[in-house]
Structure 1
C-alpha cells in the first residue's frame, strides 16, 4: 500500500478553484492550485474517490515525477529514474502522449519516443525481459513540457470525467456535464429550492442538478482505466462505490424543471434522465422560455441559452435575451445564472450582473452572469449541518 500518492485533477480553464473545493470536500487538504490543474496528496482510495466524485474535473492523473529537462539525455535519464514498475505490471499497455510549450525540447514525437524508451529500460531491470507485449491493462502516460519543466503522469480515468454514462445519445453541441455541474456549484442553489432551466436542450443542467441535489456520485455508473490496474484491488473499488451508494439521498424531493422549444432534444433529455435513474425527479416541458412557469420562492434559473454565434441567429437571440429579462423581473426572490458569449447580454437582459465569471464552453469564451436574489429566510434554509446529518443517515 502507498500512503502518499501525488495526484493531479485536471481542470477546465476558469474552474480550478471549484475543482480544488471539491477535492477538499473529499477530505484531501494538501492541495495546490495551478493553471489547468489541482495537485493533491492521497492514498490508493483517493484515486477511486476522486474519479467517482469529482463533478468539475476533466480527469485524475498519478504524478510520477517533475524535473527540468533541456536535453534528450536529461529527459531519458530522469524518466528512467522514476519507479515505473511499482505501477506498471509486465504486460501493461503504456502508450505515451506528449505536449510541449515554451520549451527547448519542442519536438513532441521525439519526447514521446524518449520517454517510452526510458520506461522500457526501467521495466527491463525489474522484469528481466527484453520485449514487452503490452497485452494487459492500459496506462496512458503523458510527458508535458512547460518552460523546460517536464511533468510525467499516468491517466487513471480513461474517457474524460464528463462522460458520466447517462448520455447514450448526444444532441448537437451539448453543454459538457463538467461545465453544467460548475454552473450549479457556483450558484447559491440548494436542494430545498426550485431550479429552472428554460433552455435545457438535452437536459444536462437539470440532470447534473439532480445528481448534486441527491448527492449521487457522478461516476457511479461508469468504469475507469484504473479499475483494471493490479495495484488497485477490486475490493477497494467496491468499497469506494459502496460508500458512494450509501451517501446518496435517493428519496430527497427536488423541484427541477427543464424546458425547450425543440421536442427532439427534449426526447434526448428524457432518455438521459432515465439512464441516470432520474426520470421521476426531473420534469421536462416543451415550452418557449417566455411561457415557462417558475413557481415557488427563492428559486434559481441556471441556463445556457443560444449565443447567436451563427449568422442569421443574432436578431432571434437578442429577442430571446430581452424576453428572458422580462420574465426574470417578475421573479423577485429568484437568482439567475446565465452563460453566454454575447457581448451585450446585460443590456439586452436589462440589468447589470452582480458578478461575472469568465468560463469556456468548449473553445468559446463566455461569461457566467450571476444575478443574486435574496437568500431564503433562516427558517426555510436547510443548514449545512442538517444536510450533512441527512447525508450520513441516508
Structure 2
C-alpha cells in the first residue's frame, strides 16, 4: 500500500490561495491554508509531482511532527519520539536550521543544537549505531520552527528554492522572483490564445513564466531536487512524475508574447534566459519606450512590473510614465491591464480605478496588484 506523508508547501504572503489552487489542480484535497503555508496529506509520489509542478510555492517540506514545547527537555524528548528513521537512512546528512516567533524557547541556535542531538540519538538507536553518525549520504535538511510555543519539525524536499527554475543566466537590479511572476500570470484570466505584452520586461521573468504556463510545461522540469536521492520517494515515483510532465506539455501551442524594455542590456539578458528555458522562438523581444506601445490586435493582456519611483529622483519620470500608460490603455478598451507597484497614487495617475486590487509582497516591498479587466471584442 502507498505510504502517506504530511506535506507543507510554503508561500510568500498573499500567495497562499494561489498555491492552494495549484494543489487542487494537481488533484490534492483537504488543504489547510494558513499564513505563509498550505498543509495537506498525500502519497509519497506527491513529493515528486509537487516539486515539479508548483509554480508559486517557495518550497515543499515533509512534516515529521508538531507538538507544544516550552522547555528544552520537552523539545528534546518530543523530537526523539518522532519516527525519524522512516525518513532519514543510516548515512543521511541532516543539518538543522530553525526559527522562533513569540515562543518561550527563543534561542534558535540552542533549539537547533537540541534537535540535532535528539534526531541523532533516535537514528543511532534505530539503525543500531554505537559511534558517531557518518552523514555521507543524501541531504535531509531539517527545520525546527517555533510559533507561540508550538514546534513544527520538517524536512525540506526541494533543495534549492522552487523559484530556481534553472533558466536565469542574468538579471537586473531588482529581479522579480519566478514564483511571484508566475502568480501574476495566474491571477489574470489570460489564455494562451490571447496576445500578452510586458512593457517593462527586465530579465523576462513574467513572460518566460507565462510561456511555461501557456504550453503547460512543468516549471521544475529542468532542475534537480533534494528528494530525488531519498529512499522515501522511489525512482519509480520520480520517473512517473517526469513522464507525466513530459506527456502533459503542449509544445505545439502557439503563443503571441512580446517583451519590451528601454534598456537594450536587459533585452539581451531576457533573450538569453528564454533560450536557457527552451522558449527562444516563443517570445518576441524589442528594445523600446513604453510610450511607443500601440496594440495592433484586440483582446490582449498587459502584465507588468514597472519601476515604482521609490527614489525621489525617479519619481517624476515614473509618474509621467504611469499617466502615458493609462492614456494608451484607455485607447484600447478590449485590452486588460495588470500592474504591480508600490506607488500608492497609481490609480490616480493611471486615470482609472482598478477593477480589482490585491495586496502582495515583492521581496520585502509591500505592493498592490492593480487589475483592469478589458471589454473583450467577440
Look up the match of 2:192: 191
Distance, in Å, in 2 between the alignment partners of 1:114 and 1:295 is 63
Give the drift of 1:283: 0.7
1:140 corresponds to 2:141:
yes
1:268 corresponds to 2:265:
no
1:169–1:268 Cα contact (<8 Å) kept? yes
Distance, in Å, in 2 between the alignment partners of 1:294 and 1:225 is 45
Give the drift of 1:230: 2.0
Look up the match of 2:236: 235
For the residue of structure 1 that corresponds to 2:20, the secondary structure is helix
2:159–2:225 Cα contact (<8 Å) kept? yes
Contiguous gaps of at least 5 residues in structure 2: none
1:307-349 CA-to-partner distances (Å, cap 9, x unmatched) read: 0112311111111111111111111111110000001011111
1:39 corresponds to 2:39:
yes
Look up the match of 1:165: 166
**1:192 and 1:138, CA in 2 relative to 1: closer, same or farther beyond 3 A?**
same
Distance, in Å, in 1 between the alignment partners of 2:121 and 2:31 is 33
Give the drift of 1:375: 4.4
Number of corresponding residues: 377
Give the drift of 1:263: 0.5
Look up the match of 2:336: 335
Look up the match of 2:23: 23
TM-score norm. by structure 1 comes to: 0.94
Contiguous gaps of at least 5 residues in structure 1: 378-394
For the residue of structure 1 that corresponds to 2:159, the secondary structure is coil
Look up the match of 1:385: none
Correspondence 1:195-210 to 2 at 5 A: 195-210=196-211
1:197-244 CA-to-partner distances (Å, cap 9, x unmatched) read: 011011011111000000000000000010111222223212111110
1:136-194 CA-to-partner distances (Å, cap 9, x unmatched) read: 11111000000000000000001110000111222221111111110110011011111
Structure 1 residue ranges (4+ consecutive) displaced by more than 4 angstroms after TM superposition:
none
Distance, in Å, in 2 between the alignment partners of 1:295 and 1:132 is 65
Give the drift of 1:65: 0.5
Give the drift of 1:124: 1.1
1:33–1:39 Cα contact (<8 Å) kept? yes
Look up the match of 1:374: 375
Give the drift of 1:293: 3.7
Give the drift of 1:298: 1.3
1:52–1:220 Cα contact (<8 Å) kept? yes
2:196–2:303 Cα contact (<8 Å) kept? yes
1:288 corresponds to 2:289:
yes
Look up the match of 2:132: 131
Root mean square deviation of aligned Cα: 1.0
TM-score norm. by structure 2 comes to: 0.98
Distance, in Å, in 1 between the alignment partners of 2:104 and 2:2 is 34
1:32-60 CA-to-partner distances (Å, cap 9, x unmatched) read: 10000000111111000100000000000
1:199–1:304 Cα contact (<8 Å) kept? yes
Look up the match of 2:248: 247
Distance, in Å, in 1 between the alignment partners of 2:4 and 2:239 is 21
Look up the match of 2:318: 317
1:305 corresponds to 2:297:
no
Give the drift of 1:354: 1.1
For the residue of structure 2 that corresponds to 1:374, the secondary structure is coil
For the residue of structure 2 that corresponds to 1:76, the secondary structure is helix
Distance, in Å, in 1 between the alignment partners of 2:101 and 2:243 is 42
Distance, in Å, in 2 between the alignment partners of 1:162 and 1:265 is 20
Distance, in Å, in 2 between the alignment partners of 1:347 and 1:55 is 32
Distance, in Å, in 2 between the alignment partners of 1:368 and 1:58 is 20
Look up the match of 2:348: 347
Segment of structure 1 superposing worse, 290-299 or 26-35: 290-299
